[in-house]
Amino acid sequence: MNLPSVILKKGKERAIKNCHHWIFSGAVESMPSFENGGVLPVRSAEGEFLGYAYFNTNSSIVGRMLSFDETPPEKAIEESIESALALRRVFFDESTNAYRLINAEGDRLPGLIVDRYDDVLVIQVATLGMEKLKRFVIEILLKKFSPRAIYEKSILPSRREDGLDDFEGLIWGEPVETVEIMEHGLRFLVEIPGSQKTGFFLDQREMRRFVGSLAEGRKVLNAFSYTGAFSVYARRAGAVLVDSVDTSERAIELAKKNLYLNGFDAGEDRFYVQDVFDYLRRETPAYDFIILDPPAFAKKKVDVIQACRGYKDINRLAIKRAAPGSFLLTFSCSFFVAEDLFQKVIFEAAREASRRVRSMQRHHQAFDHPVNIFHPESAYLKGFLLYID
């Protein structure tokens, strides 16, 4: 591609040579005239060719690398997609047909998420550059998968920063409202339009199986339960009680359906359409296994202080309500709340609850949400298994 290049300032090529995908505006010495979202070559101040990136001058992250060598951009995209699919084939068989196919920078495709729900693909496009490449990406996905439908759920703050409107809707195939998926042999109904994230919390799949290894004989509280996936795993494991709490009546109704779908009588469990903070503040049963998986409390960097107050409050309430000898599995999916900060918040919650608490394990997003070792910003989910005396 004989295109004019973006030239970086002296010394700013180091991050690119380390295969980090982002180019910040302050790293750029000069740029040719181009249309935002376009793909351009990137060179060091000395003229060394570094790869190709798409650019948007309206964003503080002005460029995002698609390749780190002379591989043409479209070929690099296709190779990255094929590499992502090959990795998933290593881990999944017929017992699980819902997982993340493409995890943005974690799969060398910045700005792109693709999730599989059986024969339906759900995509998220976060940036203007990837928006302009979307048609090409869809052609590759159709060739590799022959899906029944491709649905887009691009409702993200990053789109607005890139000058894009949010978008949700069918972009290929037949209209789909609900899909039945398999996960570790369990069945779940996933509502595609209007749901949270892309429809299901795929990043917690391995944690759900982990819950199944601990829930036998226990009284379980699934807080922020959404459509009840943790509850189903707990019931399969032999929990004696499972309570599910969520503010969404629609999600609670789907949680009941998911229990029935797996052969469990939802009438034996309790469901509460209620704010979890309010639920834990009133008198509740003495649970011996509590799962806290709230939505992101910090969606922007300026939200971190307020978010930490929320995390401390909810964990303090849960620790106070926990029976002696109980487990608490607590998570934060807020990218801006680092793992060490989240640990300090839990420490403060335990201290204020006046309970003895031990940390047993740390947990992160499922392995179909890979983190590029050269781009650690891909990590966001962190969790702790706590034992409460």
Is there a catalytic annotation at residue 308?
no
Nearest alpha carbon to residue 369 among 76, 91, 101: 101
Helices (H), 262-389: 276-281, 304-321, 339-353
Q: What's the pTM value of the predicted model, to 2 decimals?
A: 0.93
Residues 363 and 214 in one domain: yes
Give the whole-angstrom CA distance, residue 39 versus residue 103: 20
Length of the chain: 389
Query: Residue 196's pLDDT band (boundaries 50, 70, 90)?
Result: confident
Total number of domains constituting the chain: 3
Residues 29 and 119 in one domain: no
What is the rounded average pLDDT of the residues 120-144? 97
Residues 205 and 349 in one domain: yes
- Give yes or no for a contact between 61 and 162, defined as CB atoms under 8 angstroms apart: no
Mean of pLDDT over the chain: 94
In a domain, 208, yes or no: yes
What CATH number did the domain enclosing 29 receive? 2.30.130.10
Scan for tokens 């995509």, then name that residue: 123
End position of a domain, from candidates 67, 89, 108: 67
End position of a domain, from candidates 67, 96, 113: 67
- The sign of the dihedral angle between the CA atoms of 84, 89, 92, 95 is positive
Domain assignment of residue 265, given as a range: 201-388
- Give yes or no for a contact between 244 and 272, defined as CB atoms under 8 angstroms apart: yes
Residues 33 and 87 in one domain: no
Model confidence pLDDT, tens digit, residues 218-271: 999 999 999 999 999 999 999 999 999 999 999 999 999 999 999 998 777 899
The DSSP letter of residue 33 is: S
Residues 214 and 343 in one domain: yes
On the question of pLDDT at 1 being above 60, the answer is: no
Q: What angle do CA 181, 185, 191 make, to 5 degrees?
A: 20
End-to-end CA distance of the chain: 64
- Distances in Å between the Cα of 229 and the Cα atoms of 23, 244, 377 are 39, 10, 27
Residues 63 and 77 in one domain: no
What CATH number did the domain enclosing 296 receive? 3.40.50.150
Model confidence pLDDT, tens digit, residues 270-314: 999 999 999 999 877 889 999 999 999 988 888 899 999 999 999
Catalytic annotation, pick one of 128, 234, 291, 333: 333
Model confidence pLDDT, tens digit, residues 60-82: 999 999 999 999 999 999 999 99
